[in-house]
Structure 1
Amino acid sequence: MMTQNAVYDLTAASRDYPRVTAALNYLGESWRDHPDLDAAARAAGLSPHHFQRIFTRWVGVSPKRYVGALAHAEARDAIDEGASVLDAAFEAGLSGPGRLHDLFIAHEAVTPGDAKRRGAGLSFTWGVAPTPFGDGVFLIAPRGLSALAFADPDAETASQDLMARYPAADYGRDDAMARDWSDRIFTGGGGPIPLALYGTPWQRQVWRALLTIPPGETTTYKAIAGQVCTPKASRAVGAAVGANPVSWLIPCHRVLAGDGRLTGYHWGVERKRAMLVYEAMSA
């Protein structure tokens, strides 16, 4: 399996490791103060330009993005535990709800208030449209796609399963809008697909790891677990993969059992096999 740093020379990665770990330790202790690039670079003993390049190459994201991810995870934990948006902002070391709003939009395209209310006050659109893998059921939020499932055993049942993720929201059906989204996703028109996701910090961490699996390639639950924490967390990874709300775009179909079997796909092993063949033939 290729990782996001597969092109990064191993000799260089090994050489940079002490500098990067020093920076990670510093950022892990001081992220609430949102240190600037110069401060993080000093902790690593490097110039800002050199540090930015090495850190981004080794970690896969910029120092600023890494600090934002730490703040976002802290704020999400606080909200999930019942904190107000204001308290969550201060817990994350932010100056107020406005900064927290920007952070949530950057990391999951859902505002902190939306997350806390489980969709209350939001209007979602759902619809059914054809895809290469049968009829798809699309759940569309104001800021992007919240879910893509398949009409098994039927569209109504699948839509109810998706709506349960945002139980307090309002819903309306628009199959024409769903068809537009299907065209964007499966024919490549319309540019990047914005996602509006809700999940625990652990789930989102696993979903981000899924996005690093290149089309046409596969990995295992154990490998994903090793990427996000420890190989011993394979079962927890499997649960997070199974909770993935956006099929195809967040490619949980590329994850196999340790012995290579096609297991654990919410929409059926046959569809998982078809997706892998479709990608292989399109590569």
Structure 2
Amino acid sequence: MNSLIETSPYDSETYERIAKAIAFMRQHHLNQPNLATVAQHVHLSEYHFQRLFTRWTGISPKRFLQYLTVEYAKSKIAETGNLLDLTVEVGLSSPGRLHDLFVNLEAMSPGEFKAEGIGLQIWYGIHPTPFGDCLIATTSRGICNLHFLDTTSKDGIEQAFRLEWSNASIKQDQQATQEICNRIFEPSAANNKPLVLYVKGTNFQIQVWRALLSVPFGGITTYQGLAAAMGRPTAARAVGNALGRNPVGYLIPCHRVIRESGEFGGFRWGLERKTVLLGWEASRNQIQNREQEVI
């Protein structure tokens, strides 16, 4: 079992264990399952599970569970609301934090959209991340896709990706996309250059995706809140549909949009992964806040 602890947090087996544990904790949170119960559910000893989980999140499983409650979600919705209204209105980026990524979004022109990639060269690779394997695709003008994969959907995702860019020249190139993966999932002062996205979508979809860039790391908003911040208060359902078409996971943070009730709602790459993402961001935010207080 020691080998499990020494593997990279980007190991897909580690993600699957963590995700399974978090899903179990959230499903049974009213019963407050103890460490032994959760560890048994993922087939690890208490000792190894505690080490693995704390290494991945930076905090204990019990503390992590606090960030998955409806009460916590509602408190973050209120906190994020005022900031979102301001940043969308004046076109600002979210305030800089250690884990915030500076992202610029460039939309295809209508002509480029209609051409479905004619004359476009795309390089893609599949990489391990803290949230499971993902397909990253890029062009000379920016990142065009980031799709999280599941064991059962890998071939389907690659096929859908090629169909989406049916007229483009597509080449698998792990080296070309590895640097991008590192910049996304290992942010540091040394690699904080803006990440450029090159996406295709309707005018409304582009508006929604741009607005999402204003939701800060660890922040949470609602479908209604995002629609209102865009000046389209009756368009919550259309906002939800646009989120479901998001071509660049994580960087366009549709996982930060939930229901007004505090329930997490749907996610293109699975509710389990959305839960993991929200909890991980909340824990990282709290760790950074404590470090800043000490300084």
Same fold (TM over 0.5): yes
Q: Does 1:266 align with 2:268?
A: yes
Deviations 1:11-64 (A, max 9, x none): xxxxxxxxxxxxxxxxxxxxxxxxxxxxxxxxxxxxxxxxxxxxxx994149xx
> 1:2·1:214 contact (CA, 8 Å) conserved in 2?
no
Structure ranking higher on relative contact order (CA contacts 8 Å, 6+ apart): 2
Structure 2 CA distance for partners of 1:109 and 1:206, relative to 1, 3 Å: closer
Question: Which of 118, 121, 143 in structure 1 is aligned with 2:116?
Answer: 118
**One-letter amino acid matched to 1:170:** S
In structure 2, distance between residues paired with 1:252 and 1:134:
17
Counterpart code for 2:173: D
The CA deviation at 1:111 is 5.5
Matched residue of 1:108: which SS?
A: strand
- Give the C-alpha shift of residue 177 in structure 1: 2.4
Gaps of 5+ in 2: 1-79, 93-103, 286-295
1:238 to 216, 237, 240: 240
CA-CA distance at 1:167 after TM superposition:
2.0
Q: In structure 2, what is the equivalent of residue 45 of structure 1?
A: none
Q: Deviations over 1:73-119 (max 9, x none)?
A: xxxxxxxxxxxxxxxxxxxxxxxxxxxxxxxxx96164664333121
Other-structure match for 2:55: none
Q: Retained in 2: the 8 A contact 1:3–1:213?
A: no
CA gap 1:117/1:236 in 2 versus in 1, 3 angstroms: same
> TM-score of the superposition, structure 2-length normalised?
0.59
Alignment of 1:29-108 (within 5 A): 59-61=89-91, 108=106
Q: What is aligned with 1:151?
A: 149
Q: 3-state SS of the aligned residue for 1:231? A: coil
Structure 1 pair 277/140, CA: closer, same or farther in 2 (3 Å)? same
Q: Distance in 1 between matches of 2:227 and 2:256?
A: 14
Per-residue deviation, residues 120-145 of structure 1 (Å, max 9, x unmatched): 11111111011110101111112111
Partner AA of 2:153 in structure 1: D
- How many residues are aligned here? 191
- Counterparts of residues 182-261 of structure 1 (less than 5 Å): 182-188=181-187, 189-190=190-191, 191-261=193-263
* Matched residue, 2:7: none
Aligned-pair CA distance for 1:187 = 0.9
Q: How far, CA to CA, are the matches of 1:250 and 1:270 in structure 2?
A: 18
Map 1:165-184; keep pairs closer than 5 Å: 165-184=164-183
Counterpart CA distance in 2 for 1:133 and 1:107 is 23
Deviation at 1:216, TM superposition (A): 0.9
Q: Report the more deviating stretch, 154-163 or 134-143.
A: 154-163
What is the TM-score normalised by the length of structure 1? 0.62
**Alpha-carbon distance in 2 for matches of 1:149, 1:58:** 26
- Structure 1: which 5+ runs fail to align? 9-56, 63-105
Q: Using the alignment, how far apart are the partners of 2:91 and 2:221 within structure 1?
A: 22
Compared CA separation, residues 239 and 192, structure 1 to 2 (3 A)? same
Give CA-to-partner distance per residue, 1:177-201, whole Å, 9 cap, x none: 2322110111125321111111111
Amino acid of the structure 2 residue aligned with 1:282? R
Q: Is the 8 A contact 1:126 1:159 kept in 2?
A: no
Structure showing greater radius of gyration is: 1
Distance 2:209 2:91 in 1: 16
Deviations 1:202-252 (A, max 9, x none): 001011111111111111111111122333211111000111111111100
CA 1:275/1:148 → structure 2, altered by over 3 Å: closer, same or farther? same
Structure 1 moving runs of 4+ over 3 Å = 2-6, 109-113
Q: Distance in 1 between matches of 2:120 and 2:203?
A: 22
Question: Is the 8 Å Cα contact of residues 265 and 271 (structure 2) preserved in structure 1?
Answer: yes
Once the two structures are aligned, what percentage of the paired residues are identical? 38
Amino acid paired to 1:223: G
For residue 131 of structure 1, what is the aligned residue in structure 2? Answer: 129
Preserved CA contact (<8 Å) 2:84 2:214: no
**Separation of aligned partners in 2, 1:265 and 1:281:** 20
Amino acid at match of 1:176: Q
Q: Cα RMSD (Å) of the superposition? A: 2.4
Instruction: Mark the CA change 1:268 to 1:107 in structure 2 (over 3 Å): closer, same or farther.
Output: closer
